[in-house]
Every structure is written in C-alpha cells, then in structure tokens.
Amino acid sequence: MSGKTASNRPDLSEFGQIEILRPLKGSTRSCVYLATDGKNQLVAKSTTEPQDSLEWLQEAKRHAESVGFITPRSYRTRGGTLAQDGWTLESFEFGTPYPTSSLPDLASSMREFRAAAASMPQRPGCLASCDYLYQDKGPDIDFSNLPDEIAAAARTAWENFCTNPLEVIHGDLGAGNILMTGSGRAVLIDWDEARRDIALFDEFPLLPFDRTTKNEQRAYYAWEAASGWDKEPDYARRMADLLLALS
C-alpha cells in the first residue's frame, strides 16, 4: 500500500523537536529514517496513505495489543494528524528476530487478534485478494503490469479461497517484521500491508512448509508476486516462479 515515493530527508517539525539521525535499511516499499526526540529513538517512514487509512491502522494495532502483542506507537502532529507531508513517525521497537522454530506458537495469538478485530470494516481504499478477480487495478496490484500467465495463475489461486471469511490481517509477517523482546514477548512491526483479507496470508508465514497445502502455497505466492511486481521486482519474480511451478 504505502509506496516508496519520498527520497529527501523528511520535515518532521509538526511532530515537535525531532532530529533525523540516519537512513534505515530493510524496507523496500518505504523510505525509512532513524530519528530521536532527544529521549527516545523513533522511526520516520514515508507513506501515501490518507488520514482515514492511518486511523484504521491505529485501531488494528490496539486490537493486537489487547491480545498481548507489542506494536509501534504512532505519533501525532500538533494538528492531530498521523502524517506530515507524506511522513509518519513511530516508536523504534527493540528486539531480535523471532526464532523461526517458535513462529507456529504465534498462530493462536494471531487468531485471537483476528477475533478481537472482527467488527472492523475494510481498511479505507484497500481491496482483498478476491476483489482482484473482477478488478484490474487497486492500491496493491495493477494487473496491466503483470504478464498474462502470472495474472491468470494468481486469480485462479485466489478463487479457491473466495468463500473464506475476510478478517483483519497484518499482511506482512515475513522475516524481520516479528521481533522478540528480552522478556520473550512478540513485537509486530511494519503494518503497512494490513487490511481485511483471507487469514491465510498471516497463517502461511508462521507455519512449517510441510504443514501447508499446494492451494495455500499458490495463493500466498500469487499475492507476493502480484503485489510486489512493481515495488520489489526481484522478489516478486522469485515468487512468480514458485507460483507457476505449482500451477
């Protein structure tokens, strides 16, 4: 959703006395800087999301916190908005990468999160995977940019799950977006891809590969390929190869 559109050092003056320290690596879809207010380390991220979408995200994170997860605290400007000139500001969360062997243990907590957020509507401006069976362009995917073979394979993969309920998902539980604190708590960062969609997209990254079905693999690879085609081309093409190998 949030595109990597900003390249200059951000003006964060509406957030208060904020000092930009240095760029942070690791994000392929946003420009990210380490910052400080003199007491705390903060993260400034570029965003194209409107205020209503960012407000929706605050509610989703509150539901995650209610079931025990830690999430970054979002800062507001003096005017009460969550962004200034295409930049958000949030707390820097400390932790180490969550152990791969322990990821399946988070599945039950993620189910609790989805249950807690069950009454939330779709994130403003977002589409779920099955919406793309009938729409060629949305905030995450532009089918006009995809090769026909990949577009067809993606839609076929998602069609298998269109009777599944739509639930609030984090949307990007990949490596680096789940941290573990010194006390063993899980920290969920990088919520840019959160939306209502099938739970598979949050379940798949947590499970050992041999506990997933081919249909689940196809649907997951299809989303990763299609949504990353323009933003993360190398990764997206690897995912597309995996999708086509299963099709």
Q: Give the integer Cα–Cα distance in Å for 140 and 163.
A: 21
Report the pLDDT value the prediction gives residue 7, as an integer from 0 to 100: 53
| Domain 13-94 classification at class level | alpha beta
Residue spans per domain, the chain: 13-94, 107-175+192-246
Q: H-type helices in the chain, by residue range?
A: 51-66, 107-116, 148-159, 200-203, 214-228, 233-246
Q: Using only the alpha carbons of the chain, give its radius of gyration.
A: 18
Q: Give the residue among 151, 14, 170, 8 at the shortest CA–CA distance from 88.
A: 14
Q: Give the integer Cα–Cα distance in Å for 134 and 124.
A: 19
3-class DSSP state for residue 145? helix
Report the pLDDT value the prediction gives residue 116, as an integer from 0 to 100: 98
Tokens of 244: 């086509």
Report the interhelical angle of 148-159 vs 214-228 (nearest 10°). 130
Report CA torsion sign: 192, 135, 213, 239: negative
**8-state DSSP, 243:** H
Q: Give the integer Cα–Cα distance in Å for 173 and 188.
A: 8
**8-state DSSP, 19:** E
Q: Each residue's pLDDT tens digit in the chain (247 positions)?
A: 655 555 578 999 999 999 999 999 867 778 999 999 999 999 999 999 999 999 999 999 999 999 999 999 999 999 999 999 999 999 999 999 999 999 999 999 999 999 999 999 999 999 999 999 999 999 999 999 999 999 999 999 999 999 999 999 999 998 799 999 999 999 999 999 999 999 999 999 999 999 999 999 999 999 999 999 999 999 999 999 999 999 8
